[in-house]
Each structure stands twice: as C-alpha cells, then as structure tokens.
Amino acid sequence: MVAVRVENLTKRFRDETALDKVTFKVEDGEFFVLLGRPGAGKTTTLRTIAGLEKPDEGEIYIKDQLVNDVLPSERNIAMIFQNLALYPSWTVYDNMAFTMKIHKVPKEEINQRIHEVAKTLGIDYLLDRTPATLSGGERQRVAIGRALVRRPSVFLMDEPLGPLDALLRLNMRTELKRLKAELGQAIIYSTPDQLEAMSMADHLAVIHKGVIKQIDDPETIYNKPKNRYVASMIGSPAMNFLEGTFEATDTESYLNCSTFKVNLTKFKEPIERGSTSSELTFGIRPEHIKVNHEKISPDSFEANVIMEEPLGSETILHLNINKELVKAIVPPTFQTKYGEKLWIDFDMNRMHVLDAKTEKVII
C-alpha cells in the first residue's frame, strides 16, 4: 500500500522557489531517501508533508487520504528533526511520553509502550535521565524512541545522523536498517551524504534546487544516472567529465576531445538519436579507468601523474591527459611517482556519453 504520495508540490518563499513540482510516492515499509546538498529543499519537503508548511501548489496524500487541509497533529506522522529538539529539563521518559499524553493515551499504555520501545532501542537505562547527561548517540536513540512510541504510519527523518561523529553514524546506520526491517512503516529520510543514501535507501530521490533530478533504487542511480547532476552527485571521487565533439566517418565514430579521441563506433546510432548537437560530454568513473605502465591496447592514452592520494584500501591517482585532469582508482600496491608517464584505458562498457547542452545522459 502507498503510505505517502506527493504530487506537484510547489513551495515559494517570497519570490524564491524552494520546491518545484516535487512528485513521488513511498510504499509501506519502504526506506525512501531524499538526497541533496544544503538548500536543495529536503527540509521543506518533509515539513510540507508533516503539515508544518503549506504548499503553494500540489497535493499530499497519506494512506490515500488527501491531507492538505488536515492539521499536523492529525496526520499520524512522526518527524525527527536535524537538531532532535528534546526538552532539556525533562527526563527521557517524559520526553517520550509527551505526545501520547496530548493524544490522551491511557497512562498504563504510555508506560507499556515506552518500556517496549526503550528495550528495542537499548535505552531503558536512560529513562530517568535528562538529555544534557546523554551522549550524542544516546540522544539520537531517544529522539527515535520518542517517534516510535507514537506508532505513526509514516516517519520523517531530517538528517537525523547529522550531528554524530563518523563512527557513530556508521553504527546508527546499521541500527536504523535493522529497525526498518522490524517496523513496516514508511520512512522518508533526508541526507546530504551520498554514502548514507546509497547504503540505506530502497529508493532514493536526488533533489537539486527544489527539483527532483531522478528517483530510482541505488544500483540504478549509480549505473544509469539520467543526467549530469545525478552522475556527479553519486560516487567518490566523482565521475570524470571530458568535453568533446562527435565526429563520424563511414566506418568509425569518435568523440574528439581536442588532443585525444574516444572511439564510439559501436554507439553511433543511439548517440545520433539522443543528442541535440555534436557537442558531447564523455563521462567515466575513476573506478572504471584501467591504469598501466605500458600501452595495452590501440585505444590506450598517455597520462602523467600529478598526485597520489593513498587511502589504504585503494589509491586515487590524479592524472593529466593533455591538460585535462582525470582521477582514477588503482590498487594500493600500484607503484608510481610524480610526473611518471602511464597508460590509461577506459572501460567502454561502463562509460557514459552526455549531451553537452541538455546535460542528459545518452548512454
């Protein structure tokens, strides 16, 4: 069943458009991630679904019911905010009980629900303490617990792991995934962190300047980005882009990038069909470039080493191909030094060709 559906959500703040026809749907039990840089419109989307902002246009459905005119407190949604917003002078127990009291849940039941959830999250030993005496991770669990006890039909989580350090984020990521498996409710989760998005999402929406650029499962987002923005947002280091002109003879087609050519003969037809001009962009991820000390194929290019970034499990090489900077990933055992001439080959099964003007991915 569809838990949340938004259609053509548009929100303006004075003359600035924060959301532009945002449309998506989230099924029950689905972990749906909104991935976007600061200012992309993530919080505004969540606040609008929660009813804390009124959209200028568009519809919001929760469990098939149009809720545009339903009060936030009646939407059966729990939102976990970036800053957690726990009441500092109350105990963890009272923080968790608060909304249930407002909804006049009987005392016995409040007590039972809190102890149940506290046990699941491993925070039963914290119930008598105040937020100031908790660690960042404990506060995080309390905020999640406070949302859980309400048994909402949808969870909205706005960068909930934002304030945590790297190791704790990693642990909480695992815990949230486990929780998701147990819960069965829909979770809409916002983050600017692509790794977090990729590792947790069933589906993710890449949002930029209030516009959704693509919605897909993580694998498709990585392998088949629809446009340059999505291609550059996912992957670390980001995809390399090289500008060039498409040229075709009777027998061969290639992308002419000033001082070197990429052979695109086998993609001639889709490129001609999908492009608006001969100005194309070649896209290749650093992990899809082979680097060798010798020329291994007729298509190998010469490149010079500008810099090495050893990361332990792999090394990122910054290479110069005729003044174009290209990053490639090599094993940590790869031996090289500054200025050395190497040979690179693109994995032609993993490369992309984009229309330079529309920035759409053709291949």
Where on the chain is the footprint of Mg ion (CB under 5 A)? 42-43
* Residue 39 within binding range of ligand ATP, rule CB under 6 A: yes
**What are the beta bridge partners of residue 280?**
244, 355
Of residues 43 and 275, the one with the C-beta less far from Mg ion: 43
Q: Is the dihedral of CA 161, 164, 165, 169 positive or negative?
A: negative
* Residue 274 within binding range of ligand ATP, rule CB under 6 A: no
Of residues 44 and 95, the one with the C-beta less far from ligand ATP: 44
Q: How far is CA 247 from its chain centroid?
A: 36
* Residue 43 within binding range of ligand ATP, rule CB under 6 A: yes
Among 4, 24, 33, 44, the residue binding ligand ATP under the rule CB under 6 A is 44
* Residue 38 within binding range of ligand ATP, rule CB under 6 A: yes
Of residues 43 and 194, the one with the C-beta less far from Mg ion: 43
Q: Are 330 and 340 in contact (CB under 8 A)?
A: no
* Residue 42 within binding range of ligand ATP, rule CB under 6 A: yes
Of residues 46 and 77, the one with the C-beta less far from ligand ATP: 46
* Residue 281 within binding range of ligand ATP, rule CB under 6 A: no
- Collapsing DSSP to helix, strand or coil, 110 comes out as helix
* Residue 13 within binding range of ligand ATP, rule CB under 6 A: yes
Q: How far is CA 282 from its chain centroid?
A: 23
Of residues 12 and 268, the one with the C-beta less far from ligand ATP: 12
Of residues 40 and 157, the one with the C-beta less far from ligand ATP: 40
- 110 CB burial (10 A radius; 0-12, 13-18, 19+): buried
**Dist CA 218 CA 236 (whole Å):** 14
Near ligand ATP by CB under 6 A, which window of 41-49, 69-77, 176-184, 305-313?
41-49
**Dist CA 172 CA 163 (whole Å):** 12
- Our CA angle for 270, 212, 81, nearest 5°, is 150
Q: Which two tokens stand for residue 112?
A: 């039972």
**E strand segments, 219-340:** 240-248, 253-257, 260-263, 279-284, 289-292, 301-310, 315-321, 324-330
Name the minimum Å distance from CB 233 to ligand ATP. 13
**253-257 and 77-80 strand pairing:** unpaired
Q: Are 328 and 344 in contact (CB under 8 A)?
A: yes
What is the x/- site pattern for ligand ATP, positions 133-172, by CB under 6 A? ----------------------------------------
Q: Which two tokens stand for residue 117?
A: 């959830």
Site size for ligand ATP, by CB under 6 A? 11
* Residue 55 within binding range of ligand ATP, rule CB under 6 A: no
What is the x/- site pattern for ligand ATP, positions 182-201, by CB under 6 A? ----------x---------
Name the minimum Å distance from CB 155 to ligand ATP. 17
- Binding residues for ligand ATP, per CB under 6 A? 13, 18, 36, 38-44, 192
